[in-house]
A and B are shown apart, each in its own frame.
Chain A
Amino acid sequence: MFEALLMAISPTYLMYMTIGVLLGLVVGTLPGLTATMGTALLVPFTFGLPTGEGIAMLGGLYVCAMFSDAIPACLVNTPGTPAAMATGFDGHPMVKQGRGQEAIVAACFSSALGTIFGAACYLLLAWPMVSVALKFGPPQFFWLGVFALTIIGSLAGKSILKGLAGAAIGIIISCIGISHAAEVNRFTLNIPELRGGVSLVAALIGVFAVPQVLSMILNLRKEEYVAEYKPEKGVILKTIIKVVSAPIHFLRSGVIGAFIGILPGAGSPIAAIVSYNEALRWSKDKSQYGKGDVRGVTASEIANNAAAPAAMIPLVTLGVPGSAPAAVIAGALMLRGLNPGPELFGTNATLVYSFGWSLLIAGIVVFFIGMLATPILVRIIKIPLRLLAPLIMFLAIIGAYAIRNNVFDVYLMLIIGLFVFLIRPLGFHPGPIGLGFILGPIIEPSLVQALYISHAVGVQRVFFSGSVSIILISLSVISVSAVAISRYRSRKKENAS
């Protein structure tokens, strides 16, 4: 492992990894250019490099995109990739309060910490962690999705019912197209383009960017900027101290991120959501969550970044990528004639470990590059709304198109965005709808598969046995009842006053 570290800190490794990080900064910041797309675009350029440098570059892009997607999420309330949705819940309100710099610094520092945590898990705990990952089959993924859904309790605003309805709308839209399991057309209205389903990225851009742009336009006469830009001296140090002085918050977010990251098919977006929800559950003062609590930003960013190196763990141990960008990296290795998995671990452990070290160092590089870029990036909000609104719209359209090269996705993005804009005054929030988009593709196929399996062994044994299922069910029940109790209390208080 020491030899691997020496490899990872060699100048060529560092150089290519840093180039990857810089590319990741761009890719993550532009909504629609996801880490998957970015790594896929970069792969051909790595062919000329030795394997180690090549995958270090791809890894650098991946982990940096998991930070930079927070930038548009905070500044203009449009997540750069699905993983940053939860970051925007508090990040954007912070920006509106003039705390933009604090939000981005917090996102950057926690992303760096999260990456380092995830990479440390990769280096030290790969094998024990993957044995836990294997305990997750269809029923466990179903319950994980259900548990993640309980975050609605904290996102829904005034009405839980509208939160649930919003998530249901999101899940139903995510079911459009040919079903994963049985190849049945669902809700396609005989439109061939809908057979491929609604792209998650395009839908999320629609949910967040379009209503944002529309309300900017409607408020043009009242407001000229997204928010005030108030550079604050010493904010970097202050924010870092804030993050460092909450070690339990860091550990909880890191552990959640790493564990959800290793589950193939779950990935960074769900890690961020669950981590956000747990941060909220365990904090004493919940009043500021969703209104600009920096802990909301750090919880989401630590977890989605820890999930990125963790997604490489099942790849190097089992040969099964834990996320879509990990799948691209797996493809890059296989094109070189290497078989990631037990075989590669056995024949070239140094390469496997040097990749882990590269990811860890990438975390540090992300921090410094992020710190250099923050003062420039934060100035986006200094752009007057009459220029910013068309700019966001332009990027939204490009992003929705880019994800599948399909102009139909642009129309879908606009329709979904308009729909969300229209139902927003009725008390529906974009959060639960976006949550439905993200969780639908986990919950629905795993439910169907678990039901198929239960034909053979019975519903009870499939859904309600095994420690993982029991734990997830109990957590969901606790989560729901806690929300119910606190809502009941606050209503009682309101009635009394």
Chain B
Amino acid sequence: MKFSYLIKGVVASVFGAAMLLTGGTAQADYPCKEATFIVPYSPGGGSDQMARRLVPGLEEALGVGVNIVYKTGGGGAVGFSELHRSAPDGCTFSNTVVPNVIISSKGEGVGYKPGDFAYIGMTESSAGTLMVPKDSKYKTIEDFIAAANENPGMLTVAGTGGSGLSRWTQLESVLGIETTYVPVGGGVGKMIPMLAGSHVDGAATGANHATKHKGIVDAILVAGANEVPTLPGVPNEPDWNYVITWGLMAPPGTPSDIVETLNAALRSAASDPAVQDALTKGGYVTHDMTVAEVNAFMDAEIAKYAD
């Protein structure tokens, strides 16, 4: 696997010449000698793992090496705007997270609109989930609602920054409760110990996190109509409109035939049984979208957050 980094002079000598040996022959319909995969979040995080799961399959399908480059900061905005500025030749692409890419674009001076990008495909999604600490007084969503009604505004719920806030207030209005929202930045990793130590009463984030941290937190409500297989018996709230979707995107103006090539490569990488298995066990729903489907999906998502 090829994994180079921009200061090759220093690093290549350190980490061995192995990474320079790959390269292979580029496929006729993919014009790049190598590809750059921008990860807009920290090493070790969810997007990094997604990138690393997909890179072997992408390299095989595209016939070139794929280098992961981290451009972290600003809740993904740094990496997204870097991609926005990159040459639209299909040689550079990045993770995309919906709704993060939409919400972050609302900031002043960010320089990109979610509709600008050339979306390659979406591979997985996870339903919003309300979690409580294992030893919480509130064992069920009914307990939670009753406590919130008894003392309006007294329960605290953590979520990820601004996108978490918009999804949490939506659930509040569905359930007719009033709580205090506590925004957590810099990844869900910081939210889990806050919840496990009962510094907040609940936390709202993806079912993937509720699955991963099953040992220390309990899920009590899942967004949407479908049960999450890794969280059996957790009730649904069909009107809670919270889904996090992950995929790949390319800079604005990337030619459609290259987007098609990338879409095919992504779908073949994501269809690897090992990737599918890891996702299913991790509490995700897997997706396989054509370019037309992903564009329709994005139009709908952008409209959802239009206000």
Binds A, one of B72-80, B254-262, B264-272, B289-297: B72-80
Cα A211 to Cα B77 in complex, Å, equals: 32
Q: Does A247 reach chain B (CB closer than 8 Å)?
A: no
Q: Does B155 reach chain A (CB closer than 8 Å)?
A: yes
Q: Does A473 reach chain B (CB closer than 8 Å)?
A: no
Which residue among A27, A180, A337 has the maximum number of chain B CB atoms within 10 Å of its CB? Answer: A180
Contact indicator A455/B161 (Cβ below 8 Å): no
Q: Does B175 reach chain A (CB closer than 8 Å)?
A: no
Contact string against B for A residues 402-413, beta-carbon threshold 8 Å, 1 for contact and 0 otherwise: 101110000000
Cα A45 to Cα B265 in complex, Å, equals: 23
Q: Chain B contacts of A334 at CB under 8 A?
A: 49
Cα A134 to Cα B16 in complex, Å, equals: 41
Question: Which residues of B in the span 187-220 have a Cβ within 8 Å of any Cβ on A?
Answer: 189-190, 192-194, 196-197, 199-200, 212-216
Contact indicator A133/B193 (Cβ below 8 Å): yes
CB distance from A476 to the nearest CB of B (A): 20
Cα A40 to Cα B47 in complex, Å, equals: 13
Answer whether A327 and B193 are a contact pair too, CB < 8 Å, given A23-B14, A196-B74: no
Q: Chain A contacts of B278 at CB under 8 A?
A: 337
Q: Chain A contacts of B110 at CB under 8 A?
A: 192, 195
Q: Can you report 17 residue pairs joining A to B where beta carbons are below 8 Å apart? A: A40-B43, A44-B1, A137-B194, A177-B73, A178-B74, A180-B161, A180-B184, A181-B183, A183-B161, A183-B185, A188-B109, A319-B215, A320-B196, A331-B49, A404-B73, A453-B199, A457-B154
Contacts A178-B75, A448-B183 aside, 12 further interface pairs with beta carbons under 8 A come to A44-B1, A133-B193, A137-B200, A182-B162, A190-B109, A195-B78, A321-B189, A327-B43, A327-B45, A341-B216, A453-B200, A455-B180
Contact string against B for A residues 213-237, beta-carbon threshold 8 Å, 1 for contact and 0 otherwise: 0000000000000000000000000
Contact indicator B154/A195 (Cβ below 8 Å): no
Contact indicator A181/B53 (Cβ below 8 Å): no
Q: Does A115 reach chain B (CB closer than 8 Å)?
A: no
Binds A, one of B4-12, B137-145, B232-240: B4-12
Contact indicator A327/B42 (Cβ below 8 Å): yes
CB distance from A415 to the nearest CB of B (A): 18
CB distance from A349 to the nearest CB of B (A): 14
Contact indicator A404/B16 (Cβ below 8 Å): no
Contact indicator A456/B155 (Cβ below 8 Å): yes
Q: Does B23 reach chain A (CB closer than 8 Å)?
A: no
CB distance from B114 to the nearest CB of A (A): 15
Leading 3 A-B pairs by shortest Cβ distance = A196-B73, A180-B185, A137-B199
**Whose C-beta in chain A lies nearest to the C-beta of B85?**
A192
Cα A47 to Cα B18 in complex, Å, equals: 13
Cα A373 to Cα B75 in complex, Å, equals: 41
Main secondary structure of the interface of B (DSSP, over half): mixed
**Whose C-beta in chain B lies nearest to the C-beta of A180?**
B185
Contact string against A for B residues 161-180, beta-carbon threshold 8 Å, 1 for contact and 0 otherwise: 11000000000000000011
CB distance from A270 to the nearest CB of B (A): 15
Contact indicator A456/B180 (Cβ below 8 Å): yes
Contact indicator A456/B104 (Cβ below 8 Å): no
Contact indicator B197/A320 (Cβ below 8 Å): no
Contact indicator A195/B74 (Cβ below 8 Å): yes
Q: Chain A contacts of B44 at CB under 8 A?
A: 40, 321, 324, 327-332
Q: Does B153 reach chain A (CB closer than 8 Å)?
A: yes
Q: Does A342 reach chain B (CB closer than 8 Å)?
A: yes
**Whose C-beta in chain B lies nearest to the C-beta of A343?**
B215
Contact indicator B72/A41 (Cβ below 8 Å): no
Main secondary structure of the interface of A (DSSP, over half): helix
CB distance from B46 to the nearest CB of A (A): 9
CB distance from B292 to the nearest CB of A (A): 31
CB distance from B20 to the nearest CB of A (A): 13
Contact string against B for A residues 314-341, beta-carbon threshold 8 Å, 1 for contact and 0 otherwise: 1000111100100111111011010101
Partner among A44, A337, A339, A455 whose Cβ is within 8 Å of the Cβ of B212: A339
Q: Chain B contacts of A177 at CB under 8 A?
A: 73-74
Contact indicator A456/B43 (Cβ below 8 Å): no
Cα A37 to Cα B43 in complex, Å, equals: 8
CB distance from A421 to the nearest CB of B (A): 25
Contact indicator B182/A331 (Cβ below 8 Å): no
CB distance from A319 to the nearest CB of B (A): 6
Cα A314 to Cα B192 in complex, Å, equals: 11
Cα A324 to Cα B109 in complex, Å, equals: 29
Q: Does B108 reach chain A (CB closer than 8 Å)?
A: yes
Q: Does B3 reach chain A (CB closer than 8 Å)?
A: yes
Q: Does B70 reach chain A (CB closer than 8 Å)?
A: yes
Answer whether A320 and B186 are a contact pair too, CB < 8 Å, given A26-B14, A328-B44, A341-B213: no
